[in-house]
Structure 1
Amino acid sequence: MSQDTAVKGISVKDLTQKIIAGDRVFILDVRNTGDFDDWKVEGKNVEVINKPYFDLIESVDPIMDQLPEGEPIYVVCAKGGSSEFVAEQIANKGYDNVYSIEGGMNAWSEHLEPIKIGELTNGGAIYQFVRIGKGCLSYYIESNGEATIVDTVRITAPFEQFIKEHNVKLTHVLDTHLHADHISGARAMAEKYGATYHLPPKDAEEVTFSYTPLEDGNEIKVGDVTIKAVYSPGHTIGSTSLIIDDKYLLTGDILFIDSIGRPDLAGKAEDWVADLRQTLYQRYKELADNLIVLPAHYMGINEMNEDGSISKSLGNLYDENHGLNIHEEDKFRKTVTENLPPQPNSYQEIRETNMGKITPDTDKQREMEIGPNRCAVR
């Protein structure tokens, strides 16, 4: 293979920025078909085809007629090794712009892309950290030299880098609820920086560590900004939303842009569906329509704004979100108990990890989290 046709690498950060920008992206996924069907790279202008690596070991001829000419080809596998091999074979066929996605789907699952949401009234800003490969959304709020993080994911290095670059003190870390689809990094961040860790007490009855209760009506000061807690059960019995600067409503996993939270991840769908309805149809109705909803997850790439952020006003969601417009109580109950996607991979182990009951190593934690976001009612 000549140097001119050598395979190149592309980082998941660079790939993410291409997808957010709306660039045309063609991906050959060489994982097993079952893994591909469960979870893949998605984007508004992304085309993905699947051909397992084992079908391409001897020759890449079976997929050559499906590859575009004159544009980059990105090859992905689970960890980055198989994709590099396949990309080399395609480059040997005379294709110039062939890339192996570095770190594969493991790296894709763990990348966090910070996007500025807006300025705060008395200075400072709020940022959304988009975990594009998992659909998780975390929030970083800073004001007057202090910062807080809401719904921190397991991968904490990007937050640590932000804190260092912005030269702020992390004073508070909050989880809106006990997460079941990803491992929280909140306790680790609180311990490292000496910050206060807040968790809703009704979700914390089985936790093995100390925490500060996050309860309805609590006000937390971060620099010159105030965070107000609003009890909003339904996804979990303790789910608590946060109003930031009287502008932003962090809804956790209760309300999404295109769907609503599922009430079954603790095995109590029938018990919690009434709480979910009361939160969505009464508690949130009492809030200002112009609050910008910032959820803890998103379901699909179609929910992204042009800058890659996930947000919409509460008033718009009451107009557009089907889950907020099921007026018959019986129909609502049926919808949220019968239209549930498969439960998240290893969700019970993830809950136990977030309770402090088990402490899996890093490789096990990564394995537990592999797969798509499944926190919403379809």
Structure 2
Amino acid sequence: MSVKALNSKEVARKVIEKKELFILDVRNEGDFADWKIEGENFDYFNIPYFELLDGVEEIMSEIPVDKDVLVVCAKEGSSMMVAEMLSDEGLNVAYLEGGMKAWSEYLEPIKVGDLKDGGELYQFVRLGKGCLSYMVVSNGEAAIIDATRMTDVFVNFASEIGANFTHVFDTHLHADHISGGRKIAEATGATYWLPPKDAEEVVFEYAALEGGNDVQIGNSTINIHALYTPGHTIGSTSFVIDEKYLLSGDILFIDSIGRPDLAGLAEDWVGDLRESLYKRYRELSEELMVLPAHFMIIEELNEDGSVAEKLGTLFAQNHGLNIEDEHEFRSMVTENLPPQPNAYQEIRETNMGKINPDEEKQREMEIGPNRCAVR
């Protein structure tokens, strides 16, 4: 039997459509335990490929014959070899094209909704990393919010729908992934906005993103009125778009809240985090649709693959929004922190413009799951 390759887009559809898939992951056990392709109806078997160099006979009983089987490794080569060995044994299997490296970089564009006066809002879901980026399109103009470093995806998408970038935003200085915002702004002539309290060490020019800014994109307004929401970083800023959507950055997620320690200031910032979530967000309409900059677990995806929920629902269901005692909140936030993101300090310095690693180094810096939330 011939061995076929599945690309990341095809695997993404299986994730979103909750299809069954059996993944044979041939990376090292530690890498698999740290980060894998998540799917609600996926089953897994992990064995390092070097244990299969003499043949796959010992694992034949582990591989189902009634499910789609995908062999996965870091960069493709090992999974292709193992898939060919399984095929020689009569099994019908596929391997992941480009490996986990390609999976980490894939973005799935999903239309979130229509805006007033003919605008549209899109969410770009980075399934392999948990990052969420946004594009506001209105009357031939486009704004991108929290862009990842895979800038071609956004530029090509805007070109296909006939829109030109006029504004680029980062809700905060990211520490778990490299922003593509400045690169897009430089390539298109768009204005690049950053919260000034997060930008004190940046070495490039930017527009100051502060409470009270109203930015027009075609016929749509991005309203940053009184939504300075520190806590994840000291400059974290939220947006309301069209009086309908709340872009919460890394302050509030669907199933958790943002961690305050990625600049080493958890004790200093936890009070800001509580005030942003428990006071400033409480003043907003509960009908606003929350659109965060990350998701943590695959169960947060909606039926169409988007990540979005009403603010009122989160006030009712998100544990991080329902801790009345301030001391209990403080201890939960500072004592339940997952490991720091991979290379987070280098990522922060890259986003400040202080260092400029090449593409392969940037890829290495980002490998692994996102870790922006309190557990």
TM superposition score category, shorter chain reference: over 0.9
Alignment-derived partner of residue 327 in structure 1: 324
User: What is the aligned counterpart of 1:220 among 215, 226, 230?
Assistant: 215
Q: Are 2:11 and 1:51 aligned?
A: no
- 1:306-360 deviations in whole A, cap 9, x for unaligned? 1110000000000000000000000000000000000000000000000000000
Q: Are 2:353 and 1:353 aligned?
A: no
Pairwise CA distance, 1:49: 1.4
Q: Please list, as runs of the form range in 1=range in 2, the aligned pairs for 1:17-28 lying within 5 A after superposition.
A: 17-28=13-24
Q: Please list, as runs of the form range in 1=range in 2, the aligned pairs for 1:1-378 lying within 5 A after superposition.
A: 5-96=1-92, 98-229=93-224, 230-378=227-375
Q: Name the SS of the counterpart of 2:240 in structure 1.
A: strand
- 1:46-94 deviations in whole A, cap 9, x for unaligned? 1121110001111112211111013221000000000000000001111
Q: Name the SS of the counterpart of 2:116 in structure 1.
A: coil
CA distance in 1, matches of 2:122, 2:291: 10
Identify unmatched segments of 5+ residues in structure 2. none
Tell me the amino acid that sits aligned with residue 8 of structure 1: K
CA RMSD of aligned residues (A): 0.6
Tell me the amino acid that sits aligned with residue 314 of structure 2: L
Tell me the amino acid that sits aligned with residue 3 of structure 2: V
Identify unmatched segments of 5+ residues in structure 1. none
Identity %: 63
Q: Name the SS of the counterpart of 1:357 in structure 2.
A: coil
User: Does the 8 A contact of 1:234 with 1:273 survive in 2?
Assistant: yes
Tell me the amino acid that sits aligned with residue 166 of structure 1: I
User: Does the 8 A contact of 1:24 with 1:46 survive in 2?
Assistant: yes
CA distance in 1, matches of 2:49, 2:163: 46
TM-score, length of structure 2 as denominator length: 0.99
Q: How many residues align structurally? A: 373
Pairwise CA distance, 1:238: 0.1
User: Does the 8 A contact of 2:239 with 2:248 survive in 1?
Assistant: yes
CA distance in 2, matches of 1:186, 1:350: 14
CA distance in 2, matches of 1:218, 1:60: 61
CA distance in 2, matches of 1:102, 1:262: 34
Pairwise CA distance, 1:205: 0.3
CA distance in 1, matches of 2:251, 2:296: 13
Q: Name the SS of the counterpart of 2:50 in structure 1.
A: helix
Pairwise CA distance, 1:235: 0.1
User: Does the 8 A contact of 1:41 with 1:48 survive in 2?
Assistant: no
Q: Name the SS of the counterpart of 1:90 in structure 2.
A: helix
Moved over 6 A (4+): none
User: Does the 8 A contact of 1:30 with 1:76 survive in 2?
Assistant: yes
- 1:187-244 deviations in whole A, cap 9, x for unaligned? 0000000000000000000000000000011100000000011100000000000000
Pairwise CA distance, 1:21: 0.7
Is 59-68 or 205-214 further displaced after alignment?
A: 59-68
CA distance in 2, matches of 1:196, 1:57: 53
